[in-house]
Amino acid sequence: MLKIGTRGSKLALAQARETAARLAACELGGAIETVIIKTSGDAITDRALSDAGGKGLFAKEIEEALIDRRVDLAVHSLKDLPAVMPPGLCLAGVLPREDARDALIGVPSLAALPVNGRLGTSSPRRKAQMLSVRPDLEIVLFRGNVDTRLAKLRAGEVQATLLAMAGLNRLGLSVNAVPLAVKEFIPAACQGAIGLQCRKDDQRTRDLAAQLNHAPSSLTIAAERGFLAGIGGSCKTPLAAHAMLTDGGLMLRAALFAPDGSAMVRGERFIGPTPDESQTRAMGEALAQDLLMQAPPAFLAVR
* Residues annotated as catalytic (active site), given as ranges: 80
Rounded Cα distance between 83 and 166, Å, is 21
What b/e readout covers 28-47, taking b as 16+ CB neighbours within 10 angstroms?
A: ebeebebbebebebbeeeee
DSSP state of 85: P
Structure letter (DSSP) for residue 52: T
Is there a contact between 295 and 238 (Cβ–Cβ < 8 Å)? no
Element holding 298 (H helix, E strand): helix 297-300
Q: Which residues pair with 35 in a beta bridge?
A: 5
Per the CB < 8 A criterion, the answer to whether 256 and 196 are in contact is: no
The phi and psi torsions of 172 (rounded to 5 degrees) equal 65, 35
Q: Return the number of other C-beta atoms located less than 10 Å from residue 81's C-beta.
A: 24
Kind plus residue range of the DSSP H or E element containing 39: none
The CA distances from residue 180 to 76, 172, 262, in Å, are 24, 19, 20
177's enclosing H/E stretch is none
Tell me the sheet residues that pair with 119: 139, 160
Contact 72, 205 (CB under 8 A): yes
